[in-house]
Amino acid sequence: MSSTTLIPPKGVFVPSPTFFDLAASSLKGSLQPPVDTETQINHSIFLAQAGITGITLLGSTGEAVHLTRGERRHLVSTVRKGLDKAGYPDYPLMAGVLTNGELEETLQWLDDYHKAGAQWGLVLTPGYFGPAVSQEGLIEWYKIVADRSPIPILVYNYPGVTNGVQVLPETYRVLAQHPRIVGCKMSHGNVSHHVQVSLDPAIDHDKFRVYSGFGNQLGPIVAFGAAGVIDGMAAFYPKTVVRLNELMQKGGFNPEERAEIHRLQFAVSQGEEFVMRYGVLGIREAVCRVAGFGNLEGGRLPLRGKLPEGAWDKAKGLFLEEIQKLESSL
């Protein structure tokens, strides 16, 4: 790492699902099916070819908490080597750090990711104790992690998996001053927080990037300075999300572009309903059915298997048909 801290680029990152072999045929005495690294590489190349800015491995969608330390390190290393071999050297890779807040363990994850070739760590807010976690405690915790991490970090605020802990805009303002804290991912519906942090004049926005975890917020937040999204739907409909982001980052829309933005954002927002309703299982199933990667029986307990009978057809009719047409036209 050079003395100049690496800043993640603006654009669309994909929180990639982790692929597993078929459970029934691969357990052979093991408690859980093994990671399917070949599919992981192929899906990563598919995303790079579709114009996706970068990939987030082993976040919440990537089920990092279901993998061992060795499996996590091997997965990141394998994807890095696979992308290099496919002609994508230095392709942006974030890796998720999902601990309950123990500092030594958190730094261990980051050190492993550094050695495996990830450029950034996406560090989940420690939320085991929920409302008892103060903003002052979060600031001190993140500063200690950033001081000692071998790679720059982003603050990952996902209240749905951290007992409702919210990182407040004034806390981001403090953390953004740290030279090794280079951004945040907000996986919640408070658009005002995205906008406040993206427009805060006390933050150097060339050194601190704001991303949403939801594509249904892409247009509104990028219009007010956010860097982009780390969006699960882009794992199976990447071109549509990329095109929407390109138009929003460009700005200065003519009437035709404005009309296209409206069509794209409507479709992306509808597709995001599927992601929010069905979560990790839904993303894995959509990646298999739409993009052709993985299988419908893999996964690790307690998230093994596929959606309930009939759920996919219902979701396709409700949410996905319009975006499928757009994706096919791009």
Could you read off the pLDDT of 27-86 as tens digits, one per residue? Answer: 566 788 899 999 999 999 999 999 999 999 999 999 999 999 999 999 999 999 999 999
Q: How confident is the model at residue 128, as a pLDDT?
A: 94
Q: How far apart are CA 51 and CA 191, in angstroms?
A: 26
Comparing CA positions, the residue from 61, 43, 70, 107 lying closest to residue 303 is: 61
Could you read off the pLDDT of 96-145 as tens digits, one per residue? Answer: 999 999 999 999 999 999 999 999 999 999 999 999 999 999 999 999 99
Query: Residue 22: is it exposed, middle or buried by C-beta count within 10 angstroms (0-12/13-18/19+)?
Result: middle
- Tell me the pLDDT band of 2, cut-offs 50, 70 and 90: very low
Q: How far apart are CA 258 and CA 242, in angstroms?
A: 16
CB of 155 closer than 8 Å to CB of 190:
no
For 9-92, where are the E strands, in sequence order? 11-15, 54-57
Could you read off the pLDDT of 245-302 as tens digits, one per residue? Answer: 999 999 888 999 999 999 999 999 999 999 999 999 999 999 999 999 999 987 899 9
Question: Which of 143-147, 213-217, 311-315 shows the lowest mean pLDDT across its residues?
Answer: 311-315
Neighbouring CB atoms inside 10 A of 82's CB total: 18
- Contacts for 319 with CB less than 8 Å, ≥ 6 apart: 270, 271, 273, 274
- 3-class SS letters over 213-241: CCHHHHHHHHCCCCCEEECHHHHCCHHHH
- Please list the active-site residues: 156, 185
